[in-house]
Amino acid sequence: MSELGRLLEGLYACNAWVMENTLEASRRLPPQELSGERRGSYGSILATLAHVVGAHQVWSARLDGSSPATLPGAAEMPTLDDVGAAFRKVSSEYRARVARLTPEEAGRIVSYRTTAGTAEQHPVGEILLHVSLHTSNHLAQVATLLTQAGVEPPQVDYMAWVRAGRP
């Protein structure tokens, strides 16, 4: 595995741990709090979590050579169970992709169209890093939303994951 692969392996494992803990914390909310409109989010806590998963799915498709025209969201994942199942599936795919990442694959240019139709090109390694950072960003956002809703959020920090023994 490449050095980039080793770093990404930790980031994706940490994100999976944070997502599972975030889903667990989110289950403490009544349904109206979970799906209620929240400022500074993708509409709600549930919709923000679904956005994370939808982005994973779209970027995975791009890495595989297609360009989805839409980003899946809460309509496709209307419950926390749906979000969790979809996340576990796509997260497993990313972790397998990272495990076999070579320097050549990390540098391979991926051409795709954004959901707005704009043509783009980026190396695989940059895309993998982006997906991980995008996930971290939105999971931290959900932690804030959970706090505002009166639920203690999970730790979202990479070093918290390290200190927890890299579960």
Reference 47, options 74, 67, 21, 25; nearest CA is 74
Q: Which domains does the chain have, with CATH numbers?
A: 3-163 (1.20.120.450)
* Distance separating alpha carbons of residues 45 and 34, to the nearest angstrom: 6
Q: Which amino acid is present at 83?
A: V
Tell me the C-alpha to C-alpha distance, in Å, between residue 48 and each of 77, 86, 129, 132, 142.
Answer: 11, 14, 20, 15, 7
In tens, the pLDDT along 52-109 reads 999 999 999 999 999 999 999 999 999 999 999 999 999 999 999 999 999 999 999 9
Model confidence, pTM: 0.95
Tell me the C-alpha to C-alpha distance, in Å, between residue 112 and each of 32, 60, 131, 133.
Answer: 37, 11, 15, 20
